[in-house]
Amino acid sequence: QYYGYPYAAVLPQPVADTPEVASAKAAHFAAYNVAAAAAAAAPDYDAVGVVAPPYPGYSAYVGPLAGIPAIVNGVPADTPEVAAAKVAHFAAHAAANHY
């Protein structure tokens, strides 16, 4: 529910179905209802809920762990490439500002 200022604009309306789409929807729902009625008339009581028993072993990731940069004050440390780019960036700023 909207509790803000009054909004007088007309909201967009959904696009109406074309006659072809309406006919296709009606055919689809009719076929669905026929299939649903057939399924309700002949329920499958011997259906197996689980196809195979679960694996009894312990499954866990045993591969190598990805190396992460050391974290300094909650921020990952820069890689050597990033550190070099920062140095070049700040040197360009210093040269442009005549420091």
Query: Would residue 24 count as lying in a domain?
Result: no
Express each pLDDT in 27-45 by its tens digit.
999 999 999 999 889 877 7
In sequence order, the 6+-apart residues with CB closer than 8 A to the CB of 71 are: 77
Query: Would residue 33 count as lying in a domain?
Result: no
Query: Would residue 38 count as lying in a domain?
Result: no
Q: Structurally, how many domains does the chain consist of? A: 1
Q: Which domain holds residue 98?
A: 73-99
Instruction: With CA atoms as reference, report the closest residue to 25 among 16, 13, 38, 12.
Output: 16
Are 78 and 86 a contacting pair, CB within 8 Å? Answer: yes
Query: Would residue 90 count as lying in a domain?
Result: yes
Query: Would residue 26 count as lying in a domain?
Result: no
Query: Would residue 88 count as lying in a domain?
Result: yes
The pTM score is 0.36
3-class secondary-structure state, position 72: strand
pLDDT band at 25 (very low <50, low <70, confident <90, very high): very high
